[in-house]
Structure 1
Amino acid sequence: MKVKICGITDLTTAIAAVDYGADAIGFVFAESKRKISVTKAKDIVAHLPEEVLKIGVFVNETKEKIEEIAASVGLTHVQLHGDETPVFSESLSFPVIKSVSIHDDQSLKAIESYSCEYVLLDGPKGKYRGGNGLSFDWNSFSSNDLRDKKVILAGGLHEENVEDAIKLINPFMVDVSSGVETEGKKDLNKIQSFINKAKGSHTGGARNEIIYTAE
């Protein structure tokens, strides 16, 4: 199971997450308590392995701004978390992850018109478009709903429920932000535990012996 740790704002946490086995690191460029500057994100990306996905989260941003930030930072994917249209999504030169907030049985209908390879299923909207720690009813989703797309599951995930979520949804990737935080800050122990649970690895290796101090 692939794992994305989103809302990263410092290098120490990014490196630790990758050492623990994260496959993707997410940077929020939209209004959020986890918003990061282009300069800081660029510095973090410069220290990440090539094979790790670097995903930028945008909400109703202009195409020009998205392209500019993505190129400058060195992003591999663009995550659209707003009201972006299928035409807008297709106009971008970077691979797109389109987010959809699941709040009723009709929520998935809108995503059918998007040609993007990845769809991120998130919980209901809160103060921000994402990262609110809210989940949707996983039992309401069928793998047949999006058979031609890679599903990334987000919203309300944490170390205690990620295994059940994976069994029910069988996603391509799980995405967590607030679920690995303590008092609004990324918690390295929670990140490690979440990744181990998601990947079914409950035994520690050499990397588990490394001690980090978050900035």
Structure 2
Amino acid sequence: MSRVRIKICGMTRREDVHAAVACGADALGFVLWAGSARAIDASRLAALSAEVAPFVTRVGLFVDADAASVEAALPHLDLLQFHGDESPDFCARFAKPWIKALRMRDDLDLRRAAQRYAGAGALLLDAYRPGVPGGTGETFDWSRIPGDLGKPVILAGGLTPDNVATAIARVAPYAVDVSGGVEARSNTGAACHGIKDAERMQAFCQHVRAAGATTIHAATP
């Protein structure tokens, strides 16, 4: 198994972009869906994407967006992430690498979905909550993920510095995706949506690297 990649999603501030890169994030996610508490607009995307260091992937998250909205964001993105009910043809029409997020409903056939979205670079698997396309802060039953999907798996949904090592040990994903799990907390303990905590990001990345190194060592004959 190769090292586990890290995507930190829901970026809204310049200082968080820089802190995430310094922690070793491989990719940064920008939410371009107005229904999210972490949403940014096109002008903010342009400003933040310009702060991202070379070799770090800029990912735009869309939920059933129209083609014009996606096209307007393309100059500032390296990878597209579709979180809604987009068809494979829609996802592929922008001549840009893309991944498809799948919410783990009880009736979801992952193998069939992997075949349907064969053009995706990877499948991002997230927790399911009715009416919420992502960012629930909830985990799902990781044992539902088969080991032979034929697509790289990006594991999302309720990951934190405290549970990400366990998740990697159980799933052995290509990458992990975190948002709320590395956000700052209010005095009541609630997450401050879109405001990242540099120490939590650092801890998350450290746990991912340690867990990945352990997995690689264990797999070496």
- How does the TM-score come out when normalised to structure 1? 0.87
Say whether 1:40 aligns with 2:50.
Answer: no
**1:126–1:132 Cα contact (<8 Å) kept:** no
Q: Provide the C-alpha distance between the structure 1 equivalents of 2:113 and 2:122, rounded to a whole number of angstroms.
A: 14
Amino acid at match of 1:41: L
CA RMSD of the aligned region, Å?
1.5
How far did residue 86 of structure 1 move?
1.3
Mark the CA change 1:69 to 1:151 in structure 2 (over 3 Å): closer, same or farther.
same
**1:180–1:187 Cα contact (<8 Å) kept:** yes
**Structure-to-structure mapping, 1:3-42, within 5 angstroms:** 3-30=6-33, 31-42=35-46
Q: Provide the C-alpha distance between the structure 1 equivalents of 2:25 and 2:48, rounded to a whole number of angstroms.
A: 15
**2:101–2:124 Cα contact (<8 Å) kept:** yes
Amino acid at match of 1:48: V
Moved more, 159-168 or 125-134: 125-134
Could you tell me which runs of 5 or more consecutive residues in structure 1 were left unpaired when the two chains were aligned.
202-215
Of the candidates 197, 200, 214, which is equivalent to residue 190 of structure 1?
Answer: 200
Amino acid at match of 2:208: A
The count of aligned residue pairs is 197
Deviation per residue, 1:149-201 (Å, 9 max, x gap):
22111001001110111111111110000111223232111111011101118
Q: Provide the C-alpha distance between the structure 2 equivalents of 1:80 and 1:93, rounded to a whole number of angstroms.
A: 14
Percent of aligned positions that are identical: 38
**Structure-to-structure mapping, 1:1-215, within 5 angstroms:** 1-30=4-33, 31-71=35-75, 74-104=76-106, 106-108=108-110, 109-114=112-117, 115-125=119-129, 128-144=132-148, 146-147=149-150, 149-181=151-183, 182=185, 183-184=191-192, 185-200=195-210
Partner of residue 216, structure 2: none
How far did residue 64 of structure 1 move?
2.1
Mark the CA change 1:40 to 1:106 in structure 2 (over 3 Å): closer, same or farther.
closer
Could you tell me which runs of 5 or more consecutive residues in structure 2 were left unpaired when the two chains were aligned.
186-190, 212-221
**1:67–1:93 Cα contact (<8 Å) kept:** no
**2:139–2:158 Cα contact (<8 Å) kept:** yes
Amino acid at match of 2:129: K
Amino acid at match of 2:197: D
- How does the TM-score come out when normalised to structure 2? 0.84
How far did residue 18 of structure 1 move?
0.4
**2:42–2:72 Cα contact (<8 Å) kept:** no
Mark the CA change 1:126 to 1:196 in structure 2 (over 3 Å): closer, same or farther.
farther
Q: Provide the C-alpha distance between the structure 1 equivalents of 2:181 and 2:64, rounded to a whole number of angstroms.
A: 25
